Structure 1
Amino acid sequence: MGTLVTLDLPADAPALTLPWIITVGPLNDEEEWEPVVCGPYERAHALALAEAVVADEELMAVVEPLQPHVTVDQIQGDIAASRMAAENEDLETAALDAELAGFEDHDHDHDDDHTHEPPSVDEIRAGFARIAAKLTN
């Protein structure tokens, strides 16, 4: 069984309405391959898909929101913030601690019969349509 990592957010967090991606990679250092990034999905679909993928394999899946920046200034702002954090080791350590505190490890016991049912293709496509509508409004 693998590991699922995601943000532990309050029920009213704005990030819950953003598109989410899944990054799947090896759980151990013995395997070397490039992680696979999938999405965007609605959060519930991303979590269900990731759980199904890691249920029977030694994989790590990280489910996180996309930040749909629409201006160069927004992207540059995130880059500047990242650079400032890297310049100051104390800030970097504090940011990492804060980030890790927000992650929750969903390492659940799974029944041998069948674990979580991933969403259907139609459900995922409907989610894509809802994401597209949010991004174009």
Structure 2
Amino acid sequence: MSNQRPTGVTILAVLQIIGAVLNLLIGGFSLLFGGAMLTAGTAGTAGTADAAAAAQIGPMMAGFGIAGIISGIIGLIGGYGLFTLKGWGWTLAIVFAAWNIISNLIAIFTKVGNVAGAIVGIVISGLIIYYLSQSNVKRAFGK
């Protein structure tokens, strides 16, 4: 394993950690917001349209929050793996970039979400895979 981390890997690791922290924050707020909506839906406004909407949206928001928190934790672990040049960090980054390409392709073909954003996500993930596949980068991870 190389003793020197390529600059691009450092950049990817820092971006990964920043994204993970944002996922944790957004996930935490979504979980809190979903719980508050669920509580409001079962509180004093029972039987109203607002209560019914809150009772439906609250669990969904809480679910998104839990997914965001899990994604943030995995992202922190992956960022650590990249930063410390762990082989599993490289593998995790490749798997998540590939997953991002697949999920964005699904979004494009099902017309769910922003097509331009999905295309940008595909391009960025493709560039990440290309960069991580360079021989000097793979060598730094012992691959």
Quick check: TM above 0.5? no
Higher relative contact order (CA 8 A, sep 6+): 1
Larger Rg computed on CA atoms:
2
Normalized against structure 1, the TM-score is what? 0.29
Normalized against structure 2, the TM-score is what? 0.28
